[in-house]
Structure 1
Amino acid sequence: MNDHPFTFAGADLSFRPTGALFWPAERLLVVSDLHLGRSERFARRAGALLPPYEVQDTLTRLETDIDATGATTVICLGDSFDDDAAAHGLDDSVALWITRLMAGRRWVWIEGNHDPGPVELGGDHRADLTLGPLTFRHIAAPGAVGEVSGHYHPKARVAGRARPCLLRDDARVILPAYGTYTGGLRSHDRALTMLMQPGAVAVLTGTRPLAIPMPR
């Protein structure tokens, strides 16, 4: 197993190579910023064409993570769809796929700034959610402690290559974007350096997650 284990706010967590976060004691899997429908939105709004398989790729990885961890709760930390139209215009096969993934487990959609959460798909819809010592929300809140969030799509560069990464310090964890074609914000951007404490760690996604001092 190539997960990166760490303890945060008293909870033993595991960061997976895909960019998902797993809380074994709660059998809880967390993913952020799926941005399903991004290629369709680009075509609809700008006429730009991206390869059309990003939804299938993202859901395949998510299904693999659910199966590998045996998660009974899944939290999607906002921006699960690229916009409202993408959430409401799901292909029937994609809607059925998501419904199948949700079946038999608790599924929490956290509201994002791109979408309010796909109400038609059911599940639990929240602005944020606190479970034990951890609070899950889309965008990091100043002064928060024990917070797990997303939104910024953090990336860090090693050996000339930028990779999505998790950022963590004693107060918060910021997850990378899980979705395909999501882009990212370099960890040395002021928006992130102002949030993360000195001594923060970046854990890069990949075949084997790599932990390094957060590049600033």
Structure 2
Amino acid sequence: MRRPTRAWDRSMNGIEIPFQGETLCALGSGALYWAARDLLIVSDLHFGKSERIARRRGTMLPPYETRATLERLEADLLETGAGGVLCLGDSFDDLDAANGLDGEDRAHLVSLIEGRAWHWVEGNHDPGPAGLPGEHHAELVIGPLVFRHIAEPGARGELSGHYHPKLGLPGCGGTRPCFLFDADRMILPAYGAYTGGMPATAPEFAALIGSPAFAVLTGAKPLLVPYPARKGTGRGRRRF
């Protein structure tokens, strides 16, 4: 597996990743840009998370995470000029959250969708259509790549989300959401403003990511580091 390189095309802040004969750019925001297909890929937006927590638990959180996520998404679309967006599942925290979006936030989201090829891949939080424009898929195959929410054992050319990987290194100021990838699969970080994360050292990742493998830590200065993984020690899936 060829070592990824830093990418500065169109002044993007990211790391170029050679993957299954394609070149993908992991952006510092947590989005992935596939220039050959003019496609921006994001996972686990979890729109409406604060509303869902308040509705189910009675715990009040500042209700601005959807707006913050939309603003980040809009900035990435402006930076890349992407004509298409692929959301890798758990775009909404549940179906009620999808139907209960604040009117201003919904209008903002629709304005981003308009004029773009927009794909919603189903997640475990949002298994059905949300009444918004765009195409809905259980999973999606484009060229040599397959896009689904939850990684499947033995897959090749797979991009997924769900696990919200994060990694901390000495001198990096705590943990950061990260991309994890080997020659066969890539797991994207959560893009939503209020989403948590699972340590990249967890056995769930060791069961999926082979060797050699790498991680790209997100942030103002994305950082590429080796990821020491070994398959066969996972303990199943975790629901976020």
Q: Smaller-chain TM-score range?
A: over 0.9
Q: Match of 2:28, SS?
A: coil
Aligned to 1:47: 58
1:38 aligns with 2:49: yes
Q: Work out whether residues 95 and 121 of structure 1, in 8 Å CA contact, stay in contact via their aligned partners in 2.
A: no
| 72-81 or 160-169: bigger deviation | 160-169
Query: For the residues of structure 2 that align with 1:155 and 1:108, how far apart are their CA atoms?
Result: 25
Aligned to 2:7: none
Query: For the residues of structure 2 that align with 1:121 and 1:136, how far apart are their CA atoms?
Result: 20
Cα distance 1:22–1:117, how it changes in 2: closer, same or farther (>3 A)?
A: farther
Equivalent residues in 2 for 1:37-186 (5 A)? Answer: 37-159=48-170, 161-186=174-199
Query: For the residues of structure 2 that align with 1:117 and 1:179, how far apart are their CA atoms?
Result: 19
Q: Match of 1:107, SS?
A: strand
Identity %: 55
How far is the alpha carbon of 1:117 from its aligned partner? 4.4
How far is the alpha carbon of 1:200 from its aligned partner? 1.3
Q: Work out whether residues 165 and 200 of structure 2, in 8 Å CA contact, stay in contact via their aligned partners in 1.
A: yes
- Give unmatched runs, 5+ long, in structure 2: 1-10, 230-240
For residues 22-69 of structure 1, the C-alpha deviation after alignment (integer angstroms, 9 at most, x for no partner) is: 001111000000000111111111111222110110000000101111
| 194-203 or 168-177: bigger deviation | 194-203
Code of the aligned partner of 1:150: G
Query: For the residues of structure 2 that align with 1:191 and 1:99, how far apart are their CA atoms?
Result: 35
Code of the aligned partner of 2:208: L
Aligned to 1:214: 227
- Corresponding pairs, count: 216
Q: Work out whether residues 109 and 117 of structure 1, in 8 Å CA contact, stay in contact via their aligned partners in 2.
A: no
TM-score between the two structures when normalised by the length of structure 1: 0.97
TM-score between the two structures when normalised by the length of structure 2: 0.87
Q: Match of 1:15, SS?
A: strand
Code of the aligned partner of 1:121: L
Runs of 4+ in 1 over 4 A off after TM superposition: none
